Structure 1
Amino acid sequence: MNILRLVAALAFTASLTACATTDDPAKGGFFSGVKNLSSGGYEQRVNDRQKTLENEQDTNTQQTRSLERANAQSADVKAERDAAEARYAGFRKELDGMRSRLAAAEKANTKKKTEVAALNKQIDALQAKTNMVQQDSFTPDAEKQKRLETLRREREALDREVDMLIRR
């Protein structure tokens, strides 16, 4: 009979163990624990949790690498933008320099135009004086020669002024 009791106890235990519905040790009772220990339910739960943890760690590693790549690309884009802005600033500075040089040239040109106009007036006046001396039929030749010599010196001085203006 002892064997019969032992068989009955084992059958009762096996039937209760078959009723276990959870593999969570916090929610299951004694019989659920016995069933999970004997069937490997707890070990399967630990393996599943370990696999989930490893998958999440892999995902985290991938996202970290993706973030690092995005940060590197952002730094590259910033460096390219900074270089482009520096080139743009250099171009603007060069253009401003060209404008300044052009304004100076225009100012010098205006000054030269004024000087050219004055020299043209002097040339016209010298030409008029020369024409008057040549057309003067009452003045003796010696006096005409003195006047022409004086006009020649004025012409040479005027010629030097024109040369100086051209060289500037």
Structure 2
Amino acid sequence: MTILRLLAVLGLTTTLAACATNDDPAKGGFFSGMKNLSDGTYDKRVNERQKTLENEQDVNLQQTRSLERANAQSADVKAERDAAEARYASFQRELTTMRSRLAAAEKANAKKKAEVAALNQQIDGLQAKTNMVEQDSVTNEAEKQKRLEALRREREALNREVDLLIRR
């Protein structure tokens, strides 16, 4: 009779285990747990979860590498932009320097033009004085020679000024 009881309990347990199964160990109960242990459902569930975890870790690793590449590219772009901005600033400084030099040259040129105009007036005045001395028929020859000598010295001084202006 004990064998019969044992067989009856075993049959009842098997019947109950077959009826009430749930793959979730938190919800299944004892019989469901026994069945899931015996037929490998829990192992399949653990393997599926493990694969899911590994897949998510792979995705995470790929995204981390992608982020690192993007950060490296961003740093490269920033370095290129900084270099371009430095070249632009240098170019702007060079243009400003050229403008300053050109303004100084224009100023020097204007000053030279004014000096040339003044020297031209002095030459014209010296020419007029020379013409007057040569056309003067009233003044004696010795006085004319004195005046011409003074005009010659004035001409030499004017010639030195012209030479100085040309050399600048």
TM-score past 0.5 threshold? yes
Taking the aligned partners of 2:78 and 2:138, their CA distance within structure 1 comes to 90
- Which residue pairs with 1:45 in the alignment? 45
> Aligned pair 1:153/2:161, yes or no?
no
Alpha-carbon shift at residue 80 of structure 1 (Å)? 1.0
User: Is residue 20–residue 35 contact of structure 1 (8 Å, CA) maintained in 2?
Assistant: no
User: Is residue 20–residue 31 contact of structure 2 (8 Å, CA) maintained in 1?
Assistant: yes
- Which residue pairs with 1:15 in the alignment? 15
In the alignment, residue 128 of structure 1 is paired with which amino acid?
A: A
- Which residue pairs with 1:101 in the alignment? 101
Taking the aligned partners of 1:160 and 1:11, their CA distance within structure 2 comes to 137
> Aligned pair 1:68/2:36, yes or no?
no
- Which residue pairs with 1:78 in the alignment? 78
SS at match of 2:25: coil
Q: How big is the alpha-carbon RMSD for the aligned residues of Structure 1 and Structure 2?
A: 1.7
SS at match of 2:124: helix
- Which residue pairs with 1:27 in the alignment? 27
Alpha-carbon shift at residue 86 of structure 1 (Å)? 0.8
SS at match of 2:28: coil
Worse overlay, 15-24 or 44-53: 15-24
Alpha-carbon shift at residue 114 of structure 1 (Å)? 1.4
Count of aligned pairs: 168
Which digits, 9 at most, give the CA deviation of each residue in 1:116-149, with x for residues without a partner?
Answer: 1111110000110111122223333333333222
Alpha-carbon shift at residue 6 of structure 1 (Å)? 4.1
- Which residue pairs with 1:138 in the alignment? 138
Taking the aligned partners of 1:21 and 1:134, their CA distance within structure 2 comes to 142
In the alignment, residue 64 of structure 2 is paired with which amino acid?
A: T
Worse overlay, 101-110 or 35-44: 101-110
Which blocks of at least 5 consecutive residues in structure 2 are unaligned? none
User: Is residue 133–residue 144 contact of structure 2 (8 Å, CA) maintained in 1?
Assistant: yes
User: Is residue 21–residue 31 contact of structure 2 (8 Å, CA) maintained in 1?
Assistant: no
User: Is residue 133–residue 147 contact of structure 1 (8 Å, CA) maintained in 2?
Assistant: yes
Taking the aligned partners of 1:166 and 1:21, their CA distance within structure 2 comes to 114
In the alignment, residue 46 of structure 1 is paired with which amino acid?
A: V
Identical-residue share of aligned pairs (%): 80
